[in-house]
Amino acid sequence: MSKISVCLATFNEEKNIKDCLESVRQLADEIVIVDGTSSDKTVEIAKKYASKIIVRENPLMFHINKQKAFEAATSDWILYLDADERVTPKLKKEILDAIRSTLYAGYWIPRKNIIFGKWIQHAGWHPDYQLRLFKRGKAHLPCESVHEQPKLSGKAGHLKNPLIHYNYQTILQFVKRLNDLYSENDKNVFLAEGKKVEWHDAIRFPVNEFLKRFFREGGYKDGLHGLVLSMLQAFSIFVTFAKVWEIQGFKEIKEEKFLEKTEKEFFKVGQELQYWFLTSRINEERNPFKKIIFKIKRRLMK
């Protein structure tokens, strides 16, 4: 019968690690943890569950430590988790059934993201498939971006039952992670691709992110949670822009009629917002007459 290694990379996760490991205690044949020299009780708690604990530096590219955990695993299959994730009994059963199959080298698992106390079902947060279960030696993390998925050699299947992900629990947690991790990673990836920013990107980048999250991906359906998250994610993109601009030496812009050009950019923003509000109203409206009115209004915008 195939065995499973559960792998984690941790850093100061004393609030999360026990519940995470309890959720896989009866699933894992071994638990492998690479800890980034935590200063709290993470390692002390993990010792009650883990077969192997490796303590090393905590790199900004934390996927390096996840990959180290993969390499230290010895079971036939690897399930890798973050400390703020939980495996439900239904997912456990589905995983055990899945690894009996010889069809796939790995499996995508959906995540149920709990953010600010609510399950977020839109704005790009659901179903949020993650490649988390794979045969040992069949996948690796390139360690190029914190957003990356493992590279799998072979076919992948999809599981139905989700991981429970207790994602952002406070605004401070979001802002700290935005500043310390994601904007730093995104800045480095942007620069590594040889890209540069222009002044209007200060407007276009965050606006496009908001339009995508709130309208195209239906963030408005999650109410205030969706609105706040869409705005926070737009702000994250703005911070990335500002950090790239900083690397470029805070390049000064001396364009003629700068105020006028900025006004035109924001005018376009207003038009795009109106277009997307009308489009969303058309999609949501059940009254055929009102739907026609919204379509006419949208057509008149052209």
Is residue 283 pLDDT above 80, yes or no?
A: yes
Find the range with the poorest average confidence among 62-66, 114-118, 255-259, 290-294. 255-259
Q: Are residues 160 and 177 located together in one domain of the fold?
A: no
Domain hosting 193: range is 170-253
Average pLDDT over residues 80-99: 98
- Whether the CB-CB separation of 141 and 248 falls below 8 Å is answered with no
- pLDDT attached to residue 254: 80
Q: Are residues 248 and 270 located together in one domain of the fold?
A: no
CATH number of the structural domain spanning residue 99: 3.90.550.10
Q: Are residues 147 and 36 located together in one domain of the fold?
A: yes
- pLDDT attached to residue 1: 79
Q: Are residues 148 and 191 located together in one domain of the fold?
A: no
Q: Are residues 162 and 56 located together in one domain of the fold?
A: yes
> What does the buried/exposed string (b/e) look like for 130-157 if buried means 16 or more CB atoms within 10 Å of the residue's CB?
bbbbbbbebbbbeeeebeebbebeeebe
| Structure confidence by residue, pLDDT tens digits, 19-32 | 999 999 999 999 99
Cβ neighbours of residue 129 closer than 8 Å, sequence gap 6 or more: 108, 109, 110, 111, 158
Cα–Cα separations (whole angstroms), residue 218 to 52, 95, 127, 166, 238: 43, 30, 13, 21, 21
Q: List, in sequence order, every residue forming a beta bridge with 114; answer none if it has no partner.
A: 119, 166
| Cα 203 off chain centre by | 23
Q: Are residues 52 and 177 located together in one domain of the fold?
A: no
Domain boundary residue, one of 138, 166, 194: 166
Q: Are residues 22 and 159 located together in one domain of the fold?
A: yes
Is residue 302 pLDDT above 80, yes or no?
A: no
Helices 258-284 and 201-210 pack at an angle, to 10 degrees, of 10
Task: Count how many domains the chain has.
Answer: 3
Q: Are residues 247 and 188 located together in one domain of the fold?
A: yes
Is residue 179 pLDDT above 80, yes or no?
A: yes
The pTM for the full model equals: 0.92
Cβ neighbours of residue 100 closer than 8 Å, sequence gap 6 or more: 2
| Structure confidence by residue, pLDDT tens digits, 214-266 | 999 999 999 999 999 999 999 999 999 999 999 999 988 887 899 999 999 99
Q: Are residues 33 and 103 located together in one domain of the fold?
A: yes
| Structure confidence by residue, pLDDT tens digits, 124-152 | 999 999 999 999 999 999 999 999 999 99
Helices 223-247 and 183-192 pack at an angle, to 10 degrees, of 50
Domain boundary residue, one of 149, 166, 183: 166
Q: Are residues 174 and 188 located together in one domain of the fold?
A: yes
- pLDDT attached to residue 104: 97
Q: Are residues 21 and 118 located together in one domain of the fold?
A: yes
Q: Are residues 161 and 221 located together in one domain of the fold?
A: no
Task: Provide the mean pLDDT of the chain.
Answer: 96
- pLDDT attached to residue 101: 85
